[in-house]
Structure 1
């Protein structure tokens, strides 16, 4: 009897361990097509990747060339993606590790690398897993694609010549990648006369955590670094294989949009994976097999046969006791795991921040089960967008309410998650995206917002779409709504809030194209007495306040500058940073100011704006934009002044003359505002003569210091 009980205990403990941790014994798994090699050196080559014979790979893009680096060592064979000539170090069922080239300048014995081109292929650089990094001194490193600048960063010199392994802008800078990146090149340009032209400078796209593994001095000697490509089976490829897989019972395929750059986020291909508790190659029919503890009929049959033979009451009681113990242990494991995630995701800090608020944190918590049901288990087809902080999914709650669920990245984003939750929980404004709740019991923190259906302002202005009519009335209303939201954050909220990342991609548009300010991950709540916030410089290139960049002191006027760039986008239809022939036109803020000062305003205004609006309105908005872009922050208007000026422009009679307009502005500012640090709206706006032609508008008058 004791031996029987011991055997029962051993078998059930094995089942318990497997159930809790999902371990399995790996039988022989089918990786490649029959008759095809499945390895090159130490790298496993799973189908649809393959070598030599066309039957071994699904399409020419997946052909692997196994190159021999040494005739004496078999393990020296190295796989390459043949058609793009990139070395491969690891292949997964939705990703591939490659050796990505390092772009170098003024480095002894090093030659410049050519750009990477993956157009037409099923591969794209992973936005979530990679980052763009540059080591330089007083340089602007620009990431370019299709002749346009799509990203970049600036690094300044360290007086001691030290490299910054943390890469915070001292001799090193980094930025995130855009979505669906398939082709890029890198350029380096000076922005300071003190730059060291003979110093070795280098830049590259790399896997996100590489900088934590290697010192900066070692990276300079590398020709290649690790990077990650996402891949999919592009529509039209391997249709016969897809038909077979659709009838498989152990795997399934689903639509994906890895290579799609369409604003409608339509499916561009498909991916496959094994069913739950199955493992193997999902792209080969019949390869996915069930895990041992669910599959091996011999073990289970032996166990049930033995239990049938052993009919003693003691065995039955023992089984019941072990089952009860299993259930108890499992509940404790799940509870501890949730508590661990809650603490790690900042739940205690969040409770502390909200302890003085009337809102109960328990009323806004969602379970993981709720959000998985709402987003179809975070299906790729539900992705609304990806950014530096995480991925946003569209979901529908059980009550039918449509929401947006933001899944933050784990590494280094917990503080941003806590900050965004704490800031948004204090805001109640119709033009600020509404926070509904959060989920803290998961490995990755989740935030739940109201769903804003019409994308962001950047897409509305710069992505061509015949269904999206960018009229002057809508532009002016959007500008007024954004200004009103920032006025609320700066002056009306219980404590002043600096957004710190105002840009057109962070302005969402609802079903009636009303503006909603979003993305408060870098925002800060400050005391009423404080005049500025001293921080490490961060922001988006093209929108960053130059004064903040040089002083590291962020004020409410820094948000005003960023809003001025958005206002310039609205009236010119131009991107904040563009790669054009004329160098002075690359930065919208400086180009706009230069055009105003040289009496060339109407040469850069969007043609549709000129056709739909009165000249007086355009000039009034341009004057306000110029004031917001003033390099001296003390001379910029406050968001209250900006809001009232936009409301006046929006509601004014189009037949007023310029002289009356100027006098009304001066009178309104005298009565409603007190001067702030020597600034007033009236001494910054120009005197405009509307009788002259648009090309003869008088230059703007600068206020005295």
Structure 2
């Protein structure tokens, strides 16, 4: 090579070294800690040190030590690059009561008998929790909505600008505080999942019976109820939390983060913006949010978002680790991304503890003998492999058949077949489907086939071989003690033949969770029509009265004309389906109960939907037909006003639609709360009559409510007069 060539080579080498040094210096100038918290790239605290705006962390130096914040006001506790998680501090909501001594009338001395005429003022302090994220999502797999206290509920709604959702849970206990530490199953503490994709929320804590204070059961004698969303792994409930949480302002919350909103395949098309910079790294799509994440390849560790330098993905020296990977006799040699183990002389094998180890070599055998043995072993292994595979698949198929038979018996299949055989006409209307039929009908329960999800199961849209469209429900019945009751309900529902009740076509009992097959109703729920501004105008007063009359008739049929009275127990607008002609169809009997003809009520664990739940049923656990009447009264109020049954964005006196509606009717102010789409100036008298039905249906005492049959007759009479 001539002098000019050598000079050019040295110049290029110098440029490469200089460029590498520049990158290293650029990385080294960035502060990767804020106080005691590490801030790994793609996050950063200053310009040029983070990937893009969502990854900016504000380091507030007014604290000692300094504290990092996301979106300027959300405290950061930890950032994990391998897991794509960000742990932050999340506020705790409170509802606290205290006696105001300045407004207390003379109530006697402490040793005096209790004076029930004594009056003291009780002040309430409510602190709500609010979170708004600009880019990252709350992890629905790591976090739980949690409510702590006695007879309190925690209720969250999607915050302004975020995806709409409403959910929560109810925590119950009495004055004996019969709570169990470590258990968050509904007694003193309850937990429920947070909706997928949430980026913000408004969280409130409420009390079920604050009208009994002071001296009532609220909070079990404690002063506060609490609500928060917390990393499930970071919170273990204790009965001491009734007091200790009052002094706690925040709990850990896990956020999922990812790069951009593209998949790995699309992101790789632009090498400049592609974030997985390290040579020994790979990309994987985020399953919890749009975008992708990077990780170091197997055998490497570090930060995959750096292209080079000591922070990038570096080889792991397995030979230097505490876990010695090679046999004691073997020599370990580290390689790039891997390692090798070399057996000493006189031994054979790969030398690895997880491999063939090191074995002494047997000398004195001829090559032909070794070849013959190897050939014989190979043929034997091949025959063994084929035979084993045949036996394995045969046993697996047989096990699957036995498992299906076991589930069929476990879920009451034999009992159902016997009952269907004994019921005249049932065999024509109810069918027992195979698991293969329903898998094929739903494309193996593809997520795109989901019609809805609720507390009692998930509903899929399916197409049977005869092209009939059906709704297939995966029930949440798994308690063996409920199987006979489940079978009774299936039998009764197959015999219901009412035009305003969704028809049960059959079931499948070959799966661990029983499947129910219903007729498919195409036009959505009454809830969607009332509360969707783009569709609510389609429901004129005539149509609303028709839907109300049909629903009342269906419930009256269940109470009075079915072979055994059925209480629906979850009457709400979300369980009233509408077909193309806006004909009402009552659905979702997951919570329903059969009432024996010789009983007036059932004592059950309280179930239902907050806002629709009968207060008398809640207090006594006695389920009667009047419980459905109360829930239907709330549905009527919803039809008349167009308002949601519970809304924390309304003033406190208006949050519960049932109590607000009764109050306005008693004040003769009905016209002020009617939906704009139903009042035309000429139907005021008719609306007042329906409002009177609502008022009587919402009576606190069940005995003061009309029967469902009486409600249906009154509404039908109004429709006849209207025509």
* TM-score, normalising length: structure 2: 0.63
Measured at CA, do residues 382 and 208 of structure 1 come closer, stay the same or move farther in structure 2, by a change above 3 Å?
farther
Are 1:486 and 2:555 counterparts? yes
CA distance in structure 1 between the aligned counterparts of 2:441 and 2:40, rounded to whole angstroms = 32
Which residue of 2 is the match for residue 426 of structure 1?
A: 492
CA distance in structure 2 between the aligned counterparts of 1:445 and 1:52, rounded to whole angstroms = 53
Query: Shift of the alpha carbon at 1:618?
Result: 1.5
CA distance in structure 1 between the aligned counterparts of 2:202 and 2:697, rounded to whole angstroms = 34
CA distance in structure 2 between the aligned counterparts of 1:483 and 1:448, rounded to whole angstroms = 24
CA distance in structure 1 between the aligned counterparts of 2:598 and 2:187, rounded to whole angstroms = 31
Which residue of 1 is the match for residue 319 of structure 2?
A: none
1:372-411 superposed Cα distances (whole Å, 9 cap, x missing partner) = 67346623x444333334444444445444444445679x
Pick one of 357, 375, 378 that aligns with 2:419: 357
Q: Secondary structure at the match of 2:687?
A: helix
CA distance in structure 2 between the aligned counterparts of 1:230 and 1:404, rounded to whole angstroms = 34
Counterpart mapping for 1:31-50 below 5 A: none
Which residue of 1 is the match for residue 446 of structure 2?
A: 378
1:189-224 superposed Cα distances (whole Å, 9 cap, x missing partner) = 534213579835342345797799544336864655
Measured at CA, do residues 530 and 86 of structure 1 come closer, stay the same or move farther in structure 2, by a change above 3 Å?
farther
Which residue of 1 is the match for residue 177 of structure 2?
A: 161
- Would you say the 8 A contact 1:79–1:89 is kept in 2? no
Query: Shift of the alpha carbon at 1:562?
Result: 0.4
Which residue of 1 is the match for residue 327 of structure 2?
A: none
- Would you say the 8 A contact 2:128–2:202 is kept in 1? no
Query: Shift of the alpha carbon at 1:528?
Result: 1.5
Query: Shift of the alpha carbon at 1:456?
Result: 2.0
- Would you say the 8 A contact 2:475–2:590 is kept in 1? no
Pick one of 410, 421, 426 that aligns with 1:348: 410
Query: Shift of the alpha carbon at 1:162?
Result: 3.6
Which residue of 2 is the match for residue 565 of structure 1?
A: 634
Q: Secondary structure at the match of 1:642?
A: helix
Which residue of 1 is the match for residue 93 of structure 2?
A: 103
- Would you say the 8 A contact 2:601–2:624 is kept in 1? yes
Are 1:615 and 2:605 counterparts? no
- Would you say the 8 A contact 1:138–1:191 is kept in 2? no
CA distance in structure 2 between the aligned counterparts of 1:388 and 1:340, rounded to whole angstroms = 27
Measured at CA, do residues 51 and 600 of structure 1 come closer, stay the same or move farther in structure 2, by a change above 3 Å?
same
- Would you say the 8 A contact 2:568–2:628 is kept in 1? yes
1:230-274 superposed Cα distances (whole Å, 9 cap, x missing partner) = 6777768999627569x99x99979x9x8xxxxxxxxxx746799
Measured at CA, do residues 124 and 309 of structure 1 come closer, stay the same or move farther in structure 2, by a change above 3 Å?
farther
Which residue of 2 is the match for residue 509 of structure 1?
A: 578
CA distance in structure 1 between the aligned counterparts of 2:83 and 2:419, rounded to whole angstroms = 47
Measured at CA, do residues 401 and 331 of structure 1 come closer, stay the same or move farther in structure 2, by a change above 3 Å?
farther
Which of 1 and 2 has greater Rg? 2
Measured at CA, do residues 362 and 384 of structure 1 come closer, stay the same or move farther in structure 2, by a change above 3 Å?
closer
Query: Shift of the alpha carbon at 1:520?
Result: 2.3
- Would you say the 8 A contact 1:136–1:171 is kept in 2? yes
Are 1:134 and 2:197 counterparts? no
1:328-360 superposed Cα distances (whole Å, 9 cap, x missing partner) = 2244346546755875x7851432652442167
CA distance in structure 1 between the aligned counterparts of 2:551 and 2:268, rounded to whole angstroms = 48
Query: Shift of the alpha carbon at 1:554?
Result: 0.7
Measured at CA, do residues 444 and 527 of structure 1 come closer, stay the same or move farther in structure 2, by a change above 3 Å?
closer
- Would you say the 8 A contact 1:424–1:520 is kept in 2? no
Query: Shift of the alpha carbon at 1:559?
Result: 0.7
Counterpart mapping for 1:243-322 below 5 A: 270=290, 315-316=378-379, 318-322=381-385
CA distance in structure 2 between the aligned counterparts of 1:212 and 1:338, rounded to whole angstroms = 43
Are 1:192 and 2:208 counterparts? no
Pick one of 590, 599, 616 that aligns with 1:530: 599
Pick one of 246, 258, 267 that aligns with 1:241: 267
CA distance in structure 2 between the aligned counterparts of 1:134 and 1:117, rounded to whole angstroms = 17
Q: Secondary structure at the match of 2:146?
A: strand
Measured at CA, do residues 271 and 581 of structure 1 come closer, stay the same or move farther in structure 2, by a change above 3 Å?
closer
Query: Shift of the alpha carbon at 1:560?
Result: 0.9
CA distance in structure 1 between the aligned counterparts of 2:450 and 2:82, rounded to whole angstroms = 21
Q: How many residues align structurally?
A: 576
Pick one of 298, 308, 329 that aligns with 2:392: 329
Which residue of 2 is the match for residue 183 of structure 1?
A: 201
1:525-555 superposed Cα distances (whole Å, 9 cap, x missing partner) = 2312111111122222211111112211010
Q: Secondary structure at the match of 2:678?
A: helix
Q: Secondary structure at the match of 1:605?
A: coil
Query: Shift of the alpha carbon at 1:649?
Result: 1.9
Query: Shift of the alpha carbon at 1:425?
Result: 5.0
Are 1:634 and 2:703 counterparts? yes
- Would you say the 8 A contact 1:453–1:511 is kept in 2? yes
